[in-house]
Amino acid sequence: MKTWLLIFGCMVYFAFSWALYTIGVEPLYGLLDPPAIAADSPTYFERAGIGTNAGIDTQSIFSIGGGSAGQTATALVFRNEFGVACFDCLFALAIIYWAGLIPGVRRTYFAILMALEPQTLPTIMTLNKEIFAIAGLVTLAAYIYSGNGSGRVRRSKWLLFLTIIFSICARWEQLIVPMWYLAMESRWSPFRGKPRRGLAVLLLFCSVAWAAAVHVLHLNLGGFVAQIKGAGTITRLYSIQEKGGYFLVAIPKIIMNISGRWVTPAYFLHDYWVQERTNSWQNEYIGVFSSFVMLIMVAVAFFRGRIRVTRPAMYLAWIYCIYTSVNPFVQHRYIYPAYALIVLELSRRKEALEPVRPLPKPPALPPSYRTWTHSKTAIDSGNAGRDLPAHS
């Protein structure tokens, strides 16, 4: 019954998604000014040489902060928005399947909670990096959980291989996320089983690495800094970060990424209603309600005790949030893949949260011992009631 419910729900959701596709991605109704649903999809098509540009922009594909290998490859294979949307829908079904490999995860709950996040709509309908990032995190979680002795599958190296491929496709720098987790939890690591210390080391690493990139390597970050110029709080936080103080501002930046505009409620009391509408549904509606749903899920996970860093999925989510929040500007889409990890934890059955290893079977007794025991029992029963000589 649950399987049929999942299939029916996916069909309804995909039908709604395709209706949105015909309005904002490839308008079929003669709209003069169709709403902007996608974020960077046109840019990725241009990097693939499809559209206004004649050749592939290899420099942008592999640049720091602008890596788009997976998106460019997808555009080259499917050539248009329709082919990409079909691929994304099949990819989303594969992610649901991989999530179900984790012990205790109910695929139906996972799919429903993912569908509640507005950012999922453009994720499965447009050319974007988020779907690759989610796939990389879900396959890594499946790899981690399947090796605890209670999973339905054995720890598969294929899941780890898919994690690496999807991470590179999303953004080559994201490969640091699975590599960091695996390094911290390897058998040679002094931080194995100590997630809080692992996160502390990550904070120090990001702090030193960013300061070195700015002051030692003189990395050109003008494009990043230009996006936050005059943005008050985030500008002050970044000024601390570039001096090596990221570990001091990481938590505020993560909160800002998760909450988006909701961190300043006064914005919705006045500015949101009087600002000029640009017909960008991505910025005006999808992004706003995406942050709201994210806040709700974080609160639910917190009050249900599911956000503890001692849980592998949450440990991985913290690593992802710390790493992606290094960016100077606030962007809710960057934190969106961590939503999938929170949903994974919420969709697990309670009895599967702390799996109990089965007790080992006692070793089998040799046949000679069993024969001797049987003979001794027969002799003892035959001597019952007899007067045995007293010991001197």
Q: What is the pLDDT of residues 302-335, one digit of tens each?
A: 998 888 888 889 999 999 999 988 888 777 888 8
How many domains, the chain?
1
pLDDT score for 355 = 44
Domain of residue 141: give its range. 2-351
**Does residue 358 lie within any of the structural domains?**
no
Whether 71 maps to a domain, the answer reads yes
Domain assignment present for residue 379? The answer is: no
Upper half-sphere CA count for residue 328 (Cβ side, 13 Å) = 24
Number of other CB atoms surrounding residue 249 within 10 Å: 19
Maximal CA-CA distance, the chain:
114
What is the pLDDT, as a whole number, of residue 359?
35
d(CA 341, CA 138): 7
Which bin fits 260, alpha (ψ -120 to 50), beta or left (φ > 0)?
left
Answer whether residue 360 is part of any domain: no
Q: What confidence tens digit (pLDDT) does each residue in 210-238 have?
A: 888 887 766 666 555 555 555 677 888 88
Structure tokens at 53: 């540009």
Q: Which pLDDT score is estimated for 137?
A: 95
pLDDT of residue 57: 58
Asked whether residue 288 is assigned to any structural domain, the reply reads yes
Contact 110, 120 (CB under 8 A): no
Cα atoms in the Cβ-side hemisphere of radius 13 Å centred on 319: 29
CB-facing half-sphere around the CA of 300: CA atoms within 13 A: 14
363 inside domain: no
Residue 383 lies in a domain: no
Q: Which residues of the chain have pLDDT under 50?
A: 149-153, 355-362, 369, 388, 391-392
In a domain, 362, yes or no: no
Q: Which two tokens stand for residue 223?
A: 């494009």
pTM above 0.85, yes or no: no
What totals of helices (H) and strands (E) does the chain contain, helices first?
A: 21, 0
Are 333 and 282 contacting, i.e. CB atoms less than 8 angstroms apart? no
